[in-house]
Amino acid sequence: GIQVEQSPPDLILQEGANSTLRCNFSDSVNNLQWFHQNPWGQLINLFYIPSGTKQNGRLSATTVATERYSLLYISSSQTTDSGVYFCAVRSNDYKLSFGAGTTVTVRA
């Protein structure tokens, strides 16, 4: 199956700082999503981005499918951005393969 690696595993930020999370994957995909897991466990959709660039408020994402990586940018971080961020990819086998996640802690 497709291997997904996320880096860094942990990120500690001061409120207001910018950061970049990376996701590398081992094969071509037709679906790539970024999620934020809330404290109760639900996965919140951030981006559906198999290729290209998207922005949503302070968050943006870029996927370079030919080079098999995706980046999630958090700008002007807030304490509410804390949590675990997951990258997940899918090819033609109908299953999402998840990375191990990046735990983000934003300090006031």
Partner 1 sequence: KAGVTQTPRYLIKTRGQQVTLSCSPISGHRSVSWYQQTPGQGLQFLFEYFSETQRNKGNFPGRFSGRQFSNSRSEMNVSTLELGDSALYLCASSLGGSGTEQFFGPGTRLTVL
| Site of interaction with partner 1 (CB under 8 A) | 30-31, 33, 35, 40-43, 45, 48, 50, 86, 88, 90-98, 100-101
Select 77 or 97, whichever has its Cβ closest to partner 1: 97
Is 57 in a helix, a strand, or coil? coil
Asked whether the beta carbons of 5 and 60 are under 8 A apart, the reply is no
Q: What residues does 106 pair with on adjacent strands?
A: 13
What's the closest the beta carbon of residue 97 comes to partner 1, in angstroms?
A: 7
Let me know: does 31 contact 20? Beta carbons within 8 Å: no
Provide, rounded to whole angstroms, the least separation between the CB of residue 18 and partner 1. Answer: 26
Of 26 and 30, CB closest to partner 1: 30
Nearer to partner 1, 17 or 54 (CB): 54
Q: Is the dihedral of CA 7, 9, 10, 15 positive or negative?
A: positive
Minimum CB–partner distance for residue 81 and partner 1 (Å): 19
4 token code pair: 């997904």
